[in-house]
């Protein structure tokens, strides 16, 4: 983690014409924008799905199918459970994407340090 935390995009060397070997650090400039685009796309898709699912049905379904031992269709309980489910769901997606991004950075930095 310390290696990934100290890494800066400015430290990345660009590929010179004399360098014929492919370095994985050349992909760092592509990984960050791709990760952000995938995150925005997935959050947008899931947000639209949840909104449409909650609005189109009359039986007041929960955002995530779950069993609760009490009636969840009452007004304050229903909104609180939906809010908690949706916020925890998006938090989990965000944490998963950022952890994968940090893991890729660690692998790339370790691979670069082992070559030298």
The Cα angle at residue 7 between residues 5 and 12, in degrees rounded to 5: 165
DSSP 8-state secondary structure symbol assigned to residue 54: H
pLDDT(98) > 70: yes
DSSP state of 16: P
Residues 7-20 pLDDT 10s: 665 555 555 555 55
Per-residue model confidence as pLDDT tens digits over 51-78 = 887 788 788 787 778 888 888 888 888 8
Do the domain assignments include residue 70? yes
What are the tens digits of pLDDT across the range 32-56?
888 889 888 988 898 888 788 778 8
Residue 85: pLDDT over 70? yes
The answer to the question of residue 4 being in a domain is no
Does residue 32 belong to any structural domain of this protein?
Answer: yes
Full domain range(s) for residue 72 = 27-115
Domain membership flag for residue 37:
yes
- Residue 27 φ/ψ, nearest 5 degrees: -80, -10
pTM above 0.75, yes or no: no
3-state DSSP assignment of residue 8: coil
């Amino acid at each position: 983690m310390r290696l990934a935390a100290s890494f800066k995009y400015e430290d990345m060397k660009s590929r010179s014409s004399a360098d014929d070997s492919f370095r994985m650090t050349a992909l760092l400039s592509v990984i960050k924008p791709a990760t952000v685009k995938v995150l925005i796309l997935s959050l947008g898709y899931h947000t639209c799905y949840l909104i449409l699912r909650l609005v189109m049905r009359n039986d007041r379904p929960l955002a995530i199918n779950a069993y609760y031992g009490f009636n969840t269709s009452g007004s304050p309980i229903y909104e609180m459970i939906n809010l908690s489910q949706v916020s925890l769901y998006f938090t989990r997606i965000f944490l998963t994407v950022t952890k994968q991004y940090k893991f890729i950075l660690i692998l790339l930095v370790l691979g670069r340090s082992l070559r030298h």
